[in-house]
């Protein structure tokens, strides 16, 4: 079974997708991390963010490798080009670079192919922007998470403070989120858009457990 969880930055996708995967014993894939790897590589290697051909080669030729603690189907780290980039892909510089990178159709095509391959044999919870629309339009469960921009900025500030890096000023984060929402929703290639048959959940006033319970019930219904 595939559970597709899409939505804008800071809508709680990662926290919720991981918890749902744990509750159901499913695998989990963070597709945003894959776009971030390509953006990180471009910054490290001086590839201009408008060099679509070079970016597409990176996405095609360098596999994203997720690492797992023994017995845990939820990845705890990610490597790219032989480097552990688990933290490096979460910096403000990558936050900024990832929108233009993810707008390149050939980058998307290469990463979508990897995503479909990763999900081929497993029950999986996959989070991103286009899982229910493009990657797996036939996913058994499709959820589109939203929350007010202010709430999303507040959550991201808390998350960054806990991690010990990245912006922690909600005002700065809010401006970045709004810019990224705009770029992700208006790009020509696979814009952020709710699938017609997805269930929209506004999580502004919901707890994580409440959201997860709704999604697990949907999965159980789909299975029945
Ligand atoms: O979920 P995230 O913030 O880590 O995603 C980083 C960027 O990657 C975001 O700006 C949009 C893009 N993205 C995408 O275009 N398609 C996906 N399936 C996942 C992420």
Report whether residue 129 contacts ligand 1, using a CB cutoff of 6 Å.
yes
Give pLDDT tens digits for 173-183: 999 899 988 88
Task: Supply the pLDDT for residue 128.
Answer: 96
pTM for the full model? 0.93
Question: In the predicted model, is pLDDT for residue 198 greater than 90?
Answer: yes
Question: In the predicted model, is pLDDT for residue 194 greater than 90?
Answer: yes
Count how many Cα atoms sit within 13 Å of the Cα of residue 83 in the half-sphere of its side chain: 12
Give pLDDT tens digits for 80-95: 999 999 999 999 899 8
Give pLDDT tens digits for 67-81: 988 888 899 899 999
Give the pLDDT band (50/70/90) at residue 184: confident
Give the chain's count of helices (H) and strands (E): 8, 8
Q: What whole-number distance in Å separates Cα of residue 75 and Cα of residue 213?
A: 22
Ligand 1 center from residue 107 Cα (angstroms)? 12
> Six-digit token pair at 134?
């493009």
Ligand 1 center from residue 224 Cα (angstroms)? 32
Other CB atoms within 10 Å distance of the CB of residue 202: 14
Task: Supply the pLDDT for residue 71.
Answer: 84
Ligand 1 center from residue 194 Cα (angstroms)? 14
- Supply the residue whose CA is at minimum distance from atom 2 of ligand 1: 32
Give the pLDDT band (50/70/90) at residue 214: very high
Task: Supply the pLDDT for residue 165.
Answer: 78
**Closest ligand 1 atom, residue 135 Cα:** 18
Ligand 1 center from residue 25 Cα (angstroms)? 24
Residue 2: name the closest of 133, 112, 128, 125 by CA: 125
Residue 112: name the closest of 92, 128, 93, 124 by CA: 128
Test site for ligand 1: of 4, 28, 35, most ligand atoms within 8 A of the Cβ = 35
Residue with tokens 């208006």: 186
Length of the chain in terms of residues written: 224
Give pLDDT tens digits for 137-155: 999 999 999 999 999 999 9
């Amino acid at each position: 079974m595939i559970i597709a969880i899409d939505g804008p930055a800071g809508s709680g996708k990662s926290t919720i997708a991981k918890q749902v995967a744990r509750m159901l014993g499913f695998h989990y894939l963070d597709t945003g991390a894959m776009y971030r790897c390509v953006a990180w590589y471009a910054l490290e290697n001086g590839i201009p963010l408008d060099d679509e051909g070079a970016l597409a080669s990176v996405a095609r030729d360098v596999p994203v490798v997720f690492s797992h603690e023994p017995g845990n189907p939820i990845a705890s780290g990610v490597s790219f080009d032989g480097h552990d980039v688990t933290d490096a892909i979460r910096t403000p510089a990558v936050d900024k670079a990832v929108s233009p990178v993810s707008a390149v159709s050939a980058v998307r095509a290469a990463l979508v192919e990897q995503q479909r391959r990763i999900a081929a044999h497993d029950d999986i919870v996959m989070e991103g922007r286009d899982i229910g629309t493009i990657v797996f339009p036939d996913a058994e469960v499709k959820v589109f998470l939203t929350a007010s921009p202010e709430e999303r900025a507040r959550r991201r500030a808390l998350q960054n403070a806990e991690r010990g890096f990245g912006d922690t000023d909600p005002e700065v984060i809010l401006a970045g989120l709004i810019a990224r929402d705009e770029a992700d929703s208006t790009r020509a290639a696979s814009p952020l858009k709710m699938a017609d048959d997805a269930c929209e959940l506004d999580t502004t006033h919901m707890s994580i457990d409440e959201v997860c319970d709704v999604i697990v019930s949907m999965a159980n219904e789909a299975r029945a």
